[in-house]
Structure 1
Amino acid sequence: MEDYYTPGEIAERFDLTLDTLRYYEKAGLLRRVDRAPSGHRRYRTDDVELLHLIRCLRDTDMPIARLRAFAELVRSGDHTIPERLDVLQEHKNRLDARIAELVERQGAIEHKIDYYLGVLSERAAGTAHTLKDGS
């Protein structure tokens, strides 16, 4: 027996709104979602696994068009694994470059914080010295 998940369960699990979940469906990131006899949408385990990867890729700024192409490769079967690997390696390379850039920017920000802390420390020392001399 296959496990099914409601849209609410999926939205909560991945911290999504129901609108975002529907958008992912309409954008072609998920295959056509099954329906319960009542007509309510329900997701299979493989939908959940793909959605987990989609969220990871989206959260690391993979464009929707590239996500859609990747999802199509997944749905096309195992013969597309080499192409999927290429997509993921290319994305990882872009992500590595972005992380390096962010680390560099972080260093510049930390340098400026240290500078401002030094300025404030000098001012405080100067004020303390003035108060001490004036007493």
Structure 2
Amino acid sequence: MATKYTESHEWVRMDGDVAVCGITPHAAEQLGDVVFVELPDTGRALSKGDDMAVVESVKAASDVYAPISGEVVAVNQDIVDAPEKVNESPDQDAWFVKIKPSDASELDGLMDEAAYKAHTDE
């Protein structure tokens, strides 16, 4: 499945029956050098739009929002231990969480790559 995007610069892509979520390269670029990442506990139930994580950079602290509803089934400890990975590979290796979706139809309301590109070019 193709990657989908939120207006608040999170991405989500399905990997089997699990949604992998992170922040976009655009968001990582806007943040600057990431120095701290706080992720939710595994097993936490999230609703779409909930605060899912916190990212701190040399510029600011920002909340990361859940792109879809579901249960957190995995977190990426690598980016907690080495937050700079968020800047190096935000849309691949530096995923934040994996969510077991409670309503996969929520993905239909997110932007595709072309729509997200138009959104960031505004």
Q: Which has the larger radius of gyration?
A: 1
TM over 0.5: no
TM-score interval (norm. to shorter): under 0.3
* Larger RCO, structures 1/2 (Cα 8 Å, 6+ apart): 2
More strand by share: 2
More helix by share: 1
Q: TM-score, normalised by structure 1?
A: 0.22
Q: TM-score, normalised by structure 2?
A: 0.23
